[in-house]
């Protein structure tokens, strides 16, 4: 079992729809959760982070965390073609090394 | 203008040669990281450093070496012992602490033939 799992996609949604990206993690003691967006050939860009159970909203983005289910998600409202990218989920474990563990990413395609 | 710089953007080397990738940050971050990304895959941690003159191995440290002599700099050397060195190399930095956000440099694409 991978430490951080994401569906590789592609996830295809029409412009204006809500895109829902999901991530599960194996370390129950994980403390911090991050979503990065990566355009093809570019470096990852931090778009959201969440530490507590529940929802956190920032503009069109909402991160949702459920520690009991070891599940974190990212919702993108009013999806735009410019949102087409790979979305990487990253987790900071509770103990041990102080570095992020990344999932392999979900490719999102927003159809105009 | 604060940020993380990596140079060069593209690097070509012959097999058997060591090569050093540069990473500099002026964000006053204590922690720095090196990741490797292969096509269609996520990021894998090579080395990280939480403080000057100290660093730890990540998941794929074999064939790589690092130094952290200055807070601002964390160069990565890809040695000839690394069997598949062609990849996209990403440097990142953050404040220390479990909640610290990590920011990435633009990356170096290394091709070894």
The predicted-structure confidence for B20-47, as pLDDT tens digits, reads as follows 999 999 999 999 999 999 987 889 999 9
Phi, psi of A83 (to 5 degrees): -80, -10
For chain B, strand residue ranges (E) read: 4-7, 10-13, 19-25, 31-37, 43-51, 54-57, 64-66, 76-78, 87-94, 103-104, 108-112
- What residues of chain B, 31 to 50, have a C-beta less than 8 Å from chain A? 31, 33, 35, 40-45, 48, 50
Instruction: Give CA–CA dist B11/B21, Å, rounded.
Output: 9
The answer to whether A22 contacts chain B (CB < 8 Å) is: no
Cβ neighbour number for residue B7 with a 10 Å cutoff: 12
- Walking along chain A (112 residues) 10 residues at a time, the average pLDDT comes out as 90 97 94 95 94 95 96 98 97 81 96 95
Q: Cα–chain-centroid distance for residue A20? A: 9
Instruction: Give CA–CA dist B41/B39, Å, rounded.
Output: 6
Instruction: Give CA–CA dist B17/B14, Å, rounded.
Output: 6
pLDDT at position A85 is: 97
Phi, psi of B85 (to 5 degrees): -80, -15
Selecting from A98, A101, A104 the residue whose C-beta is nearest the C-beta of B50 gives A98
């Amino acid at each position: 079992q991978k430490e951080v799992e994401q569906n590789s996609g592609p996830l295809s949604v029409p412009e204006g729809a809500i895109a829902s990206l999901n991530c599960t993690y194996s370390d129950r003691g994980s403390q911090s959760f991050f979503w990065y967006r990566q355009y093809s050939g570019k470096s990852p860009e931090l778009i959201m982070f969440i530490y507590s159970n529940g929802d956190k909203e920032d503009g069109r983005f909402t991160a949702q965390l459920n520690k009991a289910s070891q599940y974190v998600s990212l919702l993108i409202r009013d999806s735009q073609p410019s949102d087409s990218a790979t979305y990487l989920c990253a987790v900071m474990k509770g103990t041990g090394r102080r570095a992020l563990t990344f999932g392999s990413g979900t490719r999102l395609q927003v159809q105009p | 203008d604060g940020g993380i710089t990596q140079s060069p953007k593209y690097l070509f080397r012959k097999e058997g040669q060591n090569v050093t990738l540069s990473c500099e940050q002026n964000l006053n971050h204590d922690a720095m990281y090196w990741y490797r990304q292969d096509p269609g895959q996520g990021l894998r941690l090579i080395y990280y450093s939480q403080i000057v003159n100290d660093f730890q191995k990540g998941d794929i440290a074999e064939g790589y070496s690092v130094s952290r002599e200055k807070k601002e700099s964390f160069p990565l050397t890809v040695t000839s012992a690394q069997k598949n060195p062609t990849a996209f190399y990403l440097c990142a930095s953050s404040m220390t602490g479990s909640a610290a956000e990590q920011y990435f440099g633009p990356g170096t694409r290394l091709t070894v033939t």
